[in-house]
Amino acid sequence: MVSRTQAEAAKAAGISENTLREYLKDKEFNERYRKACGDLLRDAAQQARQGISPALETLREIAETPGNPQARIMAARSTLEYSLRLTERVDFLERLEDLEKMQREAGQ
């Protein structure tokens, strides 16, 4: 389950916001939380990537079909933009995680 705010997350978990804040101070909990968020982002990016090909196909069809297909163009463009943004964020997240891992290993 995904919550938009910490208050919603605490309520969904059946704990107080203060308890959630205390959990977030715990290093192990925070690492697991960040991993779960990263996994969620990766899953969303994978789903978005699956929409890239159909969106490109739609744009190709629109470019070759006479008429005024504004709604389809906007939908395809939005799909592409969000898919690419998610992909960039996942790539950034993975690079950041690699850097953090290297930093931890260097500190040991």
The single residue listed with the structure tokens 């690079």 is: 95
Residue 11 to residue 16: CA distance in whole angstroms? 7
Residues of the chain with pLDDT under 50: none
What pLDDT is attached to residue 1?
Answer: 67
What pLDDT is attached to residue 37?
Answer: 86
Q: Locate 9 and state its tokens.
A: 């997350």
Straight-line distance from the first to the last Cα atom of the chain, in angstroms, rounded to the nearest whole number = 35
Residues 6+ apart with CB under 8 A from 54: 79
